[in-house]
Structure 1
């Protein structure tokens, strides 16, 4: 499945669990880039403008759920003086950091130049680097729980970028749900067969009576 087919799958088969949010306005995204003097990773920009600006847990869902990707407010142009998650300031790291407190950086430093893609619990999450030498990479933020920050796909031959990350995330959720969906379809198919058989029997009985 391509990315649009995967999103359609979410809309049709997983709409009881996830909300596929409206796309971002291209004008807002362009203004964001201009204001913070950066260029967003190409595939991420394509995704939020053409696919969805977020795939989030449906608040009616009764069970455990994590956002696939959180929405982002591209209209927020007031972060330029903010010490936290300021898109104007470069993300400083290029190598995995497992003891952040022993470096020259604190948590405010390593949130700058990033977009927070989704939370993973306990203040941790996934970040897309939008400014700095690690531009375009996905980093795992576990500073709050483990004092560490490291690139996704670290020990893999998969290229660490948004396109691979979002496709892997969507594939994981789709593959997890496919057996249940297949079972439901098979059950419906059997119900239809039984219903058609009963209708045929009833019609046959009616014809015998009429004769």
Structure 2
């Protein structure tokens, strides 16, 4: 593990403790759901088994978070998902009947994508069902539930590896890099998580 990641994990731990104290009435969006509790950390063996099962290598910063901070719990929106739950198509209904994301396949996109807008601009017949084809979510590990059918994802294979992307196809919003914290640049996991902490400490009602 790099010194940079270790230093950032220490900062994140301290800021999370501060936020837990300052937001005792759970004013931060989604805090009432997770109440700043973290799940038990993963072991090296557990993470390696998951990686081997799905033929992926988790981004180093996310892997370090699982090992040292927790496997889901306190985090942006309705909190972080457990690693094992990141493969469900729907975070509202974690059931194989609703489909699983193929995180073993490469993520397809480098820029924002919306099939419905592309078809409209091309004056093609709009195929709404095609928007929900499971292949569009390839390579996306679900890490947080924004609500209203929107998931926040960590790219674990292919283009944009390590970046945080939004899957908003349920609301016809397409798939795009996460800029919900007004960040001009694309974020990797620890930067995304720490930015949530910083903004929540500055403005708990955000």
TM-based fold match above 0.5: yes
Match of 2:41 in 1: 23
SS in 2 for 1:127: strand
Q: After the TM superposition, which parts of structure 1 deviate over 6 Å for at least 4 consecutive aligned residues?
A: none
* 1:4 paired residue among 13, 25, 28: 13
Specify every segment of 5 or more residues in structure 2 that has no aligned partner in the other structure, as ranges: 1-9, 26-31, 88-97, 120-126
Match of 1:45 in 2: 63
**Offset of residue 15 of structure 1:** 6.2
Specify every segment of 5 or more residues in structure 1 that has no aligned partner in the other structure, as ranges: 58-64, 77-81, 179-211
Aligned residues between the structures: 166
* 1:160 paired residue among 187, 199, 206: 187
Is the 8 Å Cα contact of residues 32 and 75 (structure 1) preserved in structure 2? no
TM-score by length of 2: 0.67
TM-score by length of 1: 0.66
Higher Cα Rg, which structure: 1
From the two aligned structures, give the one with the greater helix fraction: 1
Query: Which is bigger in relative contact order (C-alpha 8 A, separation at least 6)?
Result: 2
* 2:115 paired residue among 89, 99, 112: 99
Whole-Å Cα distance in 2 between the matches of residues 117 and 28 of structure 1? 17
In the TM superposition, 1:125-204 aligns within 5 A as 125-153=151-179, 157-177=184-204
Structure 1 position 67 matched with structure 2 position 85 = no
Computed over aligned residues only, the root mean square deviation of the Cα atoms, in angstroms, reads 3.3
Is the 8 Å Cα contact of residues 164 and 189 (structure 2) preserved in structure 1? yes
Whole-Å Cα distance in 2 between the matches of residues 49 and 4 of structure 1? 13
